[in-house]
Amino acid sequence: MVSPSTTKSKNMKSAAVTKASKRTSSRGQKDDVKKPNENEERQRRIDLIKDKRMKITEEGLKNLSNYEYKAGTPTILDNFMNKYYWNKVILLIPKEMAPNMITLVGLATMMLSYFCIAYYTPTFTEEAPKWTYLANAIGLFFYQTMDAIDGKQARRTGSAGPLGQLFDHGCDSISTTFICMSAMASTSLGCGPRAMAFLMFVIVPFFLAQWEEYHTHVFRSGLSFYGVTEAQFTSIALYMISFFFGPGIWHMHPISSINLEIIDYIIICISAITGYGSIDAMLNVMRHAKDTRTAMMQLIPITALMVCGMLWTLIPTVHPRLVLGTFGIAFTYLTNNMILCGMTGMQYPRYHSLLVPLPIIFVIDYLYLFPRHSDIILGLYLGFLVYKSWKFLTDSMEEISTYLGIYALSITKKRPQ
């Protein structure tokens, strides 16, 4: 026999289950409605982008939703700086400041310090005023700090995403060239074959890191014992030594029987580290790439750039910094292409029409076809290359921000839905 209280209890439970079922059904219907609306909104944004000349394919834009940044193992110095410095600095940054704005401020400061020393060293062999070496050390340390905390700010404000990844690594690709050229000026290295070799031994590993991420989906910014942070502190040390002792110290011969200067030993050490890292990256890609042949073919543009750059330094030129700057910006363009393709899953192009004029200008310079105007031609091409590289980066960011419905340099505004 069932008591009235038991029957009442069962009726109450049944009513509660019915209400919960209705709520669940209602919520499910809302989710079903919401999901098509989100898909429709994203398709509408893609259609808006289609009205322009797209840098990213429709499939590539959709792949952005699945992109997830995975960093490699940090070095001991990374962990030290993170614990005792970067985690404290981020608390001083207002939450209203966009992560990309932090990166941009750091990059602008570092570039300004470079132009200070470049003004006094037109051939990178002159001795600049002491304050310029100190300015470069401070500028690079400030950039390092901003570059380290921008990701923390993104996670802190809930604004992390592929747009920040492209902006951050895009700025890194720009800064790499300027850091190298600042080091050349600070050590009076000049603009000859040694300088180009130094530039290549620094910028190529950065490209290979992006190439490695393209195939392994993990970004390793160096070796376990020597990464980006260590390289930046190495540059800061160069600036500070030049500040205290002058750039002439780098041209002393520590071993009289060997015709090598101190700066030569430094370049050899750097090339050994980055060379080992490059080989390690290539072996890692060969282990993970779906098509090894295609992966290796993707290195044709950067290899051609290296060969052309080294050959160019053998030709006397009135403005040698133009050559270094041109190849640095060309590297930036190739690297940003690789970053974008890695995030969107697009095929990395083996042919870049923007770089076709480079070997043509080299032949003109080599054959002295226009001896009075060769530097003008190269300067005009450099200006065009800077414009197209910047436009590629900004157009790509605009497409991503339009698709995701966000702004690049603000976290307080949203695009109208």
Token look-up 């209890």 returns: 9
Range in 23-27, 54-58, 162-166, 405-409 the model is least confident about: 23-27
* C-alpha span between 340 and 60 (Å, rounded): 9
Name the β-bridge partners of 227: 222
What counts of helices (H) and strands (E) characterise the chain? 15, 0
- Return the pLDDT at 43: 67
* C-alpha span between 186 and 202 (Å, rounded): 16
Packing angle, helices 130-157 and 162-186, rounded to 10: 170
- Return the pLDDT at 55: 81
For domain 62-404, the question of CATH label 1.20.120.1760 is answered with yes
Name the β-bridge partners of 88: none
- Return the pLDDT at 332: 94
Secondary structure letter of residue 218 according to DSSP: -
Mean pLDDT of the region 165-171: 92
- Return the pLDDT at 52: 62
Residues noted as catalytic: 169
Secondary structure letter of residue 359 according to DSSP: H
Give the rounded distance of the alpha carbon of 415 from its chain centre.
26
Range in 11-15, 33-37, 285-289, 360-364 the model is least confident about: 11-15
Range in 148-162, 257-271, 362-376, 382-396 the model is least confident about: 362-376
Looking at the predicted structure, is the pLDDT value of residue 168 above 90? yes
Range in 20-34, 173-187, 230-244, 264-278 the model is least confident about: 20-34
Q: What is the enclosing helix (H) or strand (E) of 304?
A: helix 300-312
Name the β-bridge partners of 71: 219
Q: Which of 191, 181, 188, 178 is nearest to 250 (CA)?
A: 188
- Return the pLDDT at 296: 94
- Return the pLDDT at 218: 93
Residues with Cβ within 8 Å of residue 311, at least 6 apart in sequence: 362
Delimit the domains of the chain by residue range.
Answer: 62-404
CA-to-CA separations, 301 to 21, 35, 334, 361, in angstroms, rounded: 60, 42, 8, 17
Name the percent of the chain lying above pLDDT 70.
Answer: 86
- Return the pLDDT at 15: 46
Spatial contact of 196 and 312, defined as CB atoms under 8 Å apart: yes
pLDDT in tens, 74-98: 999 999 999 999 999 999 999 999 9
Select, from the ranges 196-210, 312-326, 364-378, the one with the highest average predicted confidence (pLDDT): 196-210
- Return the pLDDT at 317: 73
As given in the structure block, the two tokens for residue 297 are 């073919």
> How far separated are the first and last CA of the chain, in Å rounded?
62
* C-alpha span between 246 and 197 (Å, rounded): 23
- Return the pLDDT at 42: 66
* C-alpha span between 307 and 302 (Å, rounded): 9
As given in the structure block, the two tokens for residue 71 are 């960093």
Mean pLDDT of the chain: 86
pLDDT in tens, 14-67: 444 444 444 444 444 444 444 557 677 666 666 666 556 678 888 888 888 888
pLDDT in tens, 315-350: 877 678 899 999 999 999 999 999 999 999 999 998
- Return the pLDDT at 41: 66
- Return the pLDDT at 6: 45
User: 350 by DSSP, 3-state: which?
Assistant: coil
pTM (predicted TM-score): 0.86
Q: Sorting pLDDT into bands at 50, 70 and 90, what band is 1?
A: very low
Name the percent of the chain lying above pLDDT 90.
Answer: 63
Query: How many CB atoms within 10 Å of residue 258?
Result: 10
Sign, Cα dihedral of 80, 204, 167, 178: positive
Mean pLDDT of the region 260-270: 95
Give the rounded distance of the alpha carbon of 325 from its chain centre.
17
CA-to-CA separations, 286 to 213, 313, 344, in angstroms, rounded: 12, 32, 21
